[in-house]
Amino acid sequence: MLINKSEIIEAAAFLQRGGLVALPTETVYGLGADATNPDAIKKIFALKGRPANHPLIVHIAKGAPLGHWATHIPVAAHQLIAAFWPGPLTLILKRSQRIPLDVTGGQDTVGIRCPAHPMAQALLAAFAKMGSGAIAAPSANKFGHVSPTTAQHVRDEFGEVVGNTSNNAIYLLDGGACDVGIESTILDLSRAHPVLLRPGAISREQIRNVIGEMPFTREEAALNKPPSAAGKTRSDPAHTGQNDTPRVSGSLAAHYAPLTPLVLLTAAQLQSEIDILLDAGKRVAVLAFTAQPRVKPSPVGIGIRNARRLVWITAETDAVGYAQGLYAHLRTLDAAATSMILVECPPDSAPWDAINDRLSRAAAGSHQH
């Protein structure tokens, strides 16, 4: 990827002045501000419509001193950083005093991530030279909505303030479509036993292979149960009683949601639901693994009319490709102004965990608009 150095310097200077920069990462686009500037942080919450108690992830450059931003760093953090940074893994650690409470939603922990996208790395390096070097950035979407995976998605979310000269302007860096397509894995290392707060491209098994113990799922942490999956290495009595639920906006049942109601269906349910909706004269959007079925020719032309009311995207059949395209597909289907988005359930296996997590929250969130 060609990086325009003067653009990066301009964006870093904008951050330094308290401005907001939308930046590409390998997961999704972020809406960034200087993590040490509470006024800049407030702008993020205002623009996103995000409740103040939902903490932001702090992004740092490769090789940046972690001890500057976090304290009580366990060995597991160093092991995971060596294995997966830069990359789609956020670590929750004890907060250093340098991180204002506005960033962490008042909590004594902070989420830290080192993104792999070369433009994000270039921006972080430039910002480390002229400012704090720490960029707090949630996904660059309105609260609860689908995360952006292209610069155009960011314009679709915040068009009114992208590139203008107001105090609340967003400086947008276009780094193309995001490689991963769904948000980073979040692992809480601030407790006695690691907890997977949000599944992502880096799996529980990959983490287990590096740190030697299986992270709890949120459900297991809440119930104080040892991991259910094979490979569990210990049941630690020390964490008994640690059932406090961290405030993770991605953990809300309703999140990552389109405005059109979205439902998840099996392949068999999908076909009958399509028929019911089309017969009722509705427009229908579909994300399925199969190609759009050929519409039967009908003497009165009903088949043809139905076909026009059916908006169909054939999803990628591998989990990596599916994740990459997912949010763009949901946005396309949302924009098609149909009465319902029908999504064929992906397989219920480990590589699809993060995707199934996002889809179930999208379904829940879409019914709350």
Say which residue the tokens 């959007």 belong to.
Answer: 285
Question: Least distance to Mg ion from the beta carbon of 235, Å?
Answer: 33
Note the helical H segments in 212-259: 218-223
Please spell the DSSP secondary structure of 79-92, one letter per residue: HHHHHH-SSSEEEE
Residue 121 or 139: which CB sits closer to Mg ion? Answer: 139
Question: Least distance to ligand TXA from the beta carbon of 182, Å?
Answer: 8
Phi-psi label, residue 63: left if phi above 0, alpha if psi -120 to 50, beta otherwise: left
In angstroms, the CA 11 to CA 4 distance is 11
Say which residue the tokens 């500057």 belong to.
Answer: 68
- The interface partner of residue 344, options being ligand TXA, Mg ion, none and the CB cut-off 5 to 8 Å by kind, is none
Please spell the DSSP secondary structure of 283-309, one letter per residue: -EEEEESSPPPPPPP-TTSHHHHHHHT
Residue nearest to Mg ion (CB): 139
- The interface partner of residue 132, options being Mg ion, ligand TXA, none and the CB cut-off 5 to 8 Å by kind, is none
Structure tokens at 127: 């910002």
Count of residues of this chain found to bind Mg ion when the rule CB under 5 A is applied: 1
- The interface partner of residue 110, options being Mg ion, ligand TXA, none and the CB cut-off 5 to 8 Å by kind, is ligand TXA
Residue 103 or 310: which CB sits closer to ligand TXA? Answer: 103
Residue 86 or 144: which CB sits closer to Mg ion? Answer: 144
Residue 95 or 198: which CB sits closer to Mg ion? Answer: 198
**Contact status, residue 102 vs residue 35, Cβ threshold 8 Å:** no
**Contact status, residue 89 vs residue 184, Cβ threshold 8 Å:** yes
Q: Is residue 27 part of the contact set for Mg ion (CB under 5 A)?
A: no
Question: Least distance to Mg ion from the beta carbon of 324, Å?
Answer: 17
- The interface partner of residue 56, options being Mg ion, ligand TXA, none and the CB cut-off 5 to 8 Å by kind, is ligand TXA
Chain centroid to Cα 223, Å, comes to 25
Question: Least distance to ligand TXA from the beta carbon of 161, Å?
Answer: 18
Measured CA to CA in angstroms, residue 16 lies from 114, 185, 316, 353 at distances of: 19, 28, 41, 38
Question: Least distance to ligand TXA from the beta carbon of 246, Å?
Answer: 4
| AA identity, residue 349 | S
Question: Least distance to ligand TXA from the beta carbon of 53, Å?
Answer: 9
- The interface partner of residue 54, options being ligand TXA, Mg ion, none and the CB cut-off 5 to 8 Å by kind, is ligand TXA
In angstroms, the CA 227 to CA 217 distance is 7
**Contact status, residue 37 vs residue 134, Cβ threshold 8 Å:** no
Question: Least distance to ligand TXA from the beta carbon of 10, Å?
Answer: 20
Residue 239 or 283: which CB sits closer to ligand TXA? Answer: 239
HSE-CB of 222 using CA atoms within 13 angstroms: 8
Residue 92 or 173: which CB sits closer to ligand TXA? Answer: 92
Binding mask 115-154 for Mg ion (x = CB under 5 A): ------------------------x---------------
**Among 85, 76, 66, 354, which Cα is nearest to 214's?**
76
Cα dihedral 323/325/328/330 (nearest 10): -60
Residue 109 or 366: which CB sits closer to ligand TXA? Answer: 109
Where along the sequence are the contacts to ligand TXA (CB under 6 A)? 25, 27-28, 30, 54-57, 88, 90, 92, 104, 107, 109-111, 113, 115, 137-139, 183-184, 186, 197, 246-250
- Which spans of this chain sit near Mg ion (rule: CB under 5 A)? 139
